[in-house]
Structure formats: C-alpha cells, structure tokens
Structure 1
C-alpha cells in the first residue's frame, strides 16, 4: 500500500468559479463543462448511464486529466442536485484511512455549490472535514444534475492526515452521489455502491462506460455513507 496522508479545509463556494491562486476566490465567470472528447486518450472517463452519455446526461460521470505531472483536474457530475463524490480506498469497503472529495449543493434551494474534502482515519468512523486543499474551478446545478470541477496536487508535500492519499499510487475508486436535507446535510441511502473492480492510478488514462438504466442506478453509495457516515452529518457549506 502506498503512503497515505491528508488534512482538512473549509468548503469553497461557487456557482461557476474560475481557477485562481486563491482557493477562496469568489469571482464568477463561465467555465466550460468538459466533453467526452479525449476519453481514454488524453483523460480518464468513468461513466454510468446511457451509451455515449457525458456530464449533465450520465447518471454519474467522473473525468480527470493530469496537469504538468503534478496536479489532477477533476470533473464530477451526477443526476440530482444533492451531492457527488469520489472516494479512494485501499479496499472496496472504505475500511479506514480513506480520501473523499467532491461537491454538494450548499443547502436546498440554494444555487451555490461547495467543494468538500473528507476522510475517515478509523474503520467505520464518521468522516472528518479536512482542510480543503481542493481548488474549486467551477460548480453548477443544471438540467437536474450537479456538476463541479476541482483541482488538487497528486501528492501533497506536507503530511497533514492519514487520509491525504498519494494519487500517484493505485486505489480502489468509489463513485457516489445522493441527496441533501434542507440544511445541506448529506443524506444516507440504501443502494449498493459502485466501486472500481481493480485499483486505479490517476496517472494512467482509462475509459470505462457502464450502461445502466436510471431505475437500476441511483448511485447513492449506501456503503460509503454507512461506513463513512454512520452518524448524522452536520456538514454544511460556510
């Protein structure tokens, strides 16, 4: 197992926000949503939904590309307007020391999307907010989907927490989305999680398309939530 590290940060708020040297920049500017062009060639795409779907049409989509061999630019989207996330784990069960990043609607009826960075250091423990070393590039609610684009180093120079994982290493990826309550707390669901069959490194391009029907897929990540979030969440955007 590769080295694991991590740390915590405040949620970053965005309706649509550009890259900036300041993670808390609130300047609003249109940022184009990535297409499926380059999937499996210049970037990784993981898709669940109808054949050929993309961001804002798949039930769940993760895409990312490595920037300058040091950072990874990640786009996440899912059907619904609650939350969407990707988890990284040494096993398929989020057994502790796991890294979770994603975004959620700040609260019901809010147009704002916030980035979130979480980790669980102990098996079956509730997640802890980490210093948010994600740079929020864009976030929006559109066409009954939540979408965000974030950037982070593949490897943090400073070890802050056990769950700050080195993304040069191979990890099982867990793909999740779900709803929130009126105050913005992530809700737990009862569906089975979608988990990568093998460990994946973000520095190697791959392309996975899983054709599903919406009826068979609410990718609500019951396993991720019950393992990472066994207690009632009080996580809200600031």
Structure 2
C-alpha cells in the first residue's frame, strides 16, 4: 500500500492529507463547522474529480501489489509448416532422409501462390542461415537469392542476396514482406511473401517463369552469413514452375550410396556372380 500512497501523492498533493491526516487539518475541519454541527464555508469538498480519478486508477489499473497490469497484446506463435499440403495446395522440395518433413529434413522448401504473391517456407538443420536461389542454370553465379538469417539476438530476418560468382552480395532492395521467423531445436525456419512479378532488374527474377532452384544453408556470425560447407550444394534436377505444385524428394548424400548407376551395376554383377558361382 505504500507504493499506492506515493502514486496518489503524485496525482493530487491534497490527497496526502486525506491519507495521513494531521492535527492542523483536524483543527481546520473543526473550525469549518458551526456550533450546531452545520458545515461552514471552509469545509473541504471530498468529492473532487481528482479523488475519483485516483480511486478509479487504483481499482482498475493497479494490481493488489500496486504494479501496473501488462497492456501489450500477446504475439502470435509461428504456425508450423504443414507437409500434408505438399503436392496439393503447395509445392515442396525435401532434402534429407527418406520420409522426412519440415522439422526433420536437412533442408525443406515450400512455395504457393497467394494472389499476386508467392509464399515461401524454408527450414534447415542449422543455427545460421537457410536460402533458396533462382538460377537460369545449375551453377552458382548471377542468381537471385532469398535467405533467412538467425542473428545473435535470437531473431530470424529475411534478406535478399545476389550471387556474384561464389560470393553472395546482400542487396538493399528486399522484395520480402509478411516476414516470420523461428529458431528452435537448432533449426532456422521462416515464412515470407514475395511478388510474382517485379520490374525487370538484374538482381530480381520474374517468378512467372521457371527456374532451377539452388538450395543452401550454413553458419552465421553476428547475423552475417558465412560460406556453407558444400562443395556442390543441392540443386533441382529440372526447372521448377510455381504454377505446378510438386512434392520432390532429394536424398541427402548419406542416402545416395546405392542409388548411382555404377553402384547398381556393381550390385547386379556381385549378385550374378554369387548365384552362378565361378566356372
């Protein structure tokens, strides 16, 4: 209650006399009454607006301990990526272990059209950054890149880059909007929208057209991306159109051992040798 008294004192100095009282104030009140107890002209009017406002403030905006109630609205949590929509209402590319989803793939990307925009969702097993590049070929260089970067404050921000050779240069003009980001369980996840069409510019491609998609992720230092650890980052094997919702799975390197033609031929030869035996 001491804090409440101090607060009321700041609002109306005269309230201090009402709370604590003093002999002088008591004598003043007595002198304001006549002999028959009738109020005199010097009686203090207790129903002032400041008294009402102070009591209203205490009853409505202060807790029992005298601290203000929080007024900021809660922040909406990041909506989890729905992989059940892949190939139906949005396109998806998964890189990693067979059967992985947006929270277990080494890299995950989804895209879908919303009016004149394209909404992208990205997630990767990293504490730094995750990105997608739009390329006219399968090589890095001269590519429009959108990246989600985790900084030292725990935030995930959307950045726009342009590949100059093997170096990603950040571009001041950023077409991303409605940005969302999350860093959780050592994964960077984000969601953002980007216009389908932008005025022709070297660093921005027209998403009405089909492009090879380049996939990359790696570490970051103080919110700045550093080079990834891949000699050959994953890339889509064909040009992707945002008008065709595909569900593409790309096995990670660890799961490609027996998928190459040479390995399959070797397995067939060994099997034939074991079944037929030596001559």
Q: TM-score of the superposition, structure 2-length normalised?
A: 0.60
Query: For 1:91, which of 127, 137, 157 is the aligned residue?
Result: 137
The 2-side partners of 1:114 and 1:199 are apart by: 27
Which residue does the alignment assign to 1:195?
235
> Which portions of structure 1, spanning 4 or more consecutive aligned residues, are displaced by more than 3 angstroms?
122-126, 213-216
Q: Deviations over 1:152-174 (max 9, x none)?
A: 11112x34x31210011011100
1:59–1:214 CA contact under 8 A, matched in 2:
no
The 1-side partners of 2:249 and 2:99 are apart by: 8
1:45-84 to 2 correspondence within 5 Å? 45-68=92-115, 70-84=116-130
Which residue does the alignment assign to 2:7?
none
Aligned positions, number? 182
Q: State the shift of 1:87 in Å.
A: 0.2
Q: Does 1:116 pair with 2:177? A: no
The 2-side partners of 1:83 and 1:177 are apart by: 5
Which residue does the alignment assign to 2:4?
none
The 1-side partners of 2:243 and 2:165 are apart by: 27
Q: Does 1:34 pair with 2:81? A: yes
Q: State the shift of 1:125 in Å.
A: 6.2
Q: State the shift of 1:215 in Å.
A: 9.2
Q: Structure 2 vs 1, CA of residues 80 and 111 (structure 1 numbering), >3 Å: closer, same or farther?
A: same
The 1-side partners of 2:217 and 2:90 are apart by: 22
Q: Which has the higher contact order (CA 8 A, sep 6+)?
A: 1
- Structure 1 unaligned segments of length 5 or more: list them: 1-26, 217-238
- Structure 2 unaligned segments of length 5 or more: list them: 1-73, 257-279
1:56–1:143 CA contact under 8 A, matched in 2:
no
Q: TM-score of the superposition, structure 1-length normalised?
A: 0.70
Structure having the larger proportion of residues in helix: 2
SS at match of 1:127: strand
The 2-side partners of 1:74 and 1:198 are apart by: 19
The 2-side partners of 1:143 and 1:127 are apart by: 28
Structure having the larger proportion of residues in strand: 1
